[in-house]
Amino acid sequence: MPELPEVEVTRRGVAPHIEGRTVREVILRRDGLRWPFPEDLPAALAGKAVLATGRRGKYLLIHFDTGTLIIHLGMSGHLRVLPTDIPAQKHDHFDMVVDGPDGLQVLRMTDPRRFGAVLWHPREEGELDEHLLLRGLGVEPLGPEFTGKLLWEQTRTRSAAIKQVLMAGDIVVGVGNIYCSESLFRAGINPKTAANRISAARYDRLAQAIRDVLSEAIVQGGSTLRDFISVNGQSGYFQQTYFVYDRAGVPCRICGAPVRQIKQGQRSTFYCVNCQK
């Protein structure tokens, strides 16, 4: 599943190919994915220039002066920029053809499992932050608002396990299952610890660990997927070296104790009983 780093790497990869370019055509090859495609999307975007790209949590944003295209990659989606003469395959559901310096190019969304989404937020419907999918989101983990102090303040009345509080996404977005286990390991915090029992100092370490883990993933993903926009380039998700994630029973890289796997809220958590208190 694409996590925040994959979405950010995708945004950085496609941005130079679409920003400032004019949309020539939008092609929808089915009625929708997780939700129906906006029927009037081809007409709404034709002739419009892409002002900028952005990201909010795992939503990739393409801004126009008339509104914003909101794209979610779901479980299996990815975006590539291709020459227009590459025929669409079975799972290619959405094309946005743009003018490029060397002719037309297509931003193509492929999504075999179809849990992704392409939605349109017209400017006249108000602030983008108020969109149904975006308004409940916590702060961006790589932005200035995300601090240990914020984590501490927002958890004073929450007695649920810190892993589940982070994963809820209402305090901070983008700390998915992998990055949650890894960040808690780096901060030395047991994932079962009640959120309101963690000190401000430990939250400072946790916030830094979250920023580090996500930033490193973006850097690594950027190099792994350098050519992901090309026809034959990698279009999958990147694999990284983890401390604990998916390493059940394997010796901890720091202390050698076997990494433990437990279930929290139906999701697997990996941690080291020695290194995380």
Which are the catalytic amino acids?
2-3, 58, 267
Residue 259 C-beta: closest distance to Zn ion, Å: 8
Residues 143, 8 contacting (CB under 8 angstroms): no
Work out the angle at residue 120's Cα, subtended by the Cα atoms of residues 115 and 124, and round it to the nearest 5 degrees: 150
Smallest gap from residue 183 Cβ to Zn ion (A): 15
Q: Does 184 bind Zn ion (CB under 5 A)?
A: no
Closest approach, Cβ 210 to Zn ion, in A, equals 19
Contact window for Zn ion (CB under 5 A) among 7-15, 175-183, 238-246, 269-277 = 269-277
Near Zn ion by CB under 5 A: residue from 139, 162, 209, 252: 252
Nearer to Zn ion, 219 or 255 (CB): 255
**Amino acid identity, position 133:** L
225 versus 275: smaller Cβ distance to Zn ion: 275
Q: How far is the CB of 186 from Zn ion (least distance, A)?
A: 11
**What b/e sequence results for 188-215 when a residue is b if at least 16 CB atoms lie within 10 Å of its CB, and e otherwise?**
bbbbebebeebeeebbbbbbebbbebbe
Nearer to Zn ion among residue 238 and residue 243 (C-beta): 243
How many Å apart are CA 146 and CA 126, to the nearest integer?
25
272 is a contact residue toward Zn ion (CB under 5 A): yes
| Among the residue ranges 31-39, 95-103, 172-180, 267-275, the one whose residues contact Zn ion (CB under 5 A) | 267-275
| Number of residues in contact with Zn ion under rule CB under 5 A | 6
274 binds Zn ion (CB under 5 A): yes
Is 161 or 272 the residue whose CB approaches Zn ion more closely? 272
Cα separation, 8 vs 116, in Å, equals 16
* Using rule CB under 5 A, residue 275 touches Zn ion: yes
**Which residues, including other chains, have CB under 8 Å from residue 224's CB and lie 6 or more apart?**
234, 238, 239
DSSP H/E element including 117: strand 117-122
From the list 15-23, 74-82, 198-206, 265-273, the region that binds Zn ion by CB under 5 A is 265-273
Q: Does 254 bind Zn ion (CB under 5 A)?
A: yes
Element (H, E) at 79: strand 78-83
CB of 252 to Zn ion, least distance (A): 3
Q: Give the nearest residue (CB) to Zn ion.
A: 252
Q: CB under 5 A: which stretch of 22-30, 153-161, 197-205, 255-263 binds Zn ion?
A: 255-263
Q: Between 9 and 206, whose beta carbon lies closer to Zn ion?
A: 206
CA distance 159 to 166: 12
* 123, 126, 255, 265: residue in contact with Zn ion (rule CB under 5 A): 255
**Alpha carbon distance 188, 208 (integer Å):** 12
Rounded to whole angstroms, how far apart are CA atoms 115 and 146? Answer: 29
Residue with smaller CB distance to Zn ion, 173 or 184: 184
Of 56, 50, 43, the C-alpha closest to 4 is: 56
| Rg of the chain taking only CA atoms, in angstroms | 20
Backbone angles phi, psi at 245, to 5 degrees: -60, 130
Binding site for Zn ion (CB under 5 A): 252, 254-255, 272, 274-275
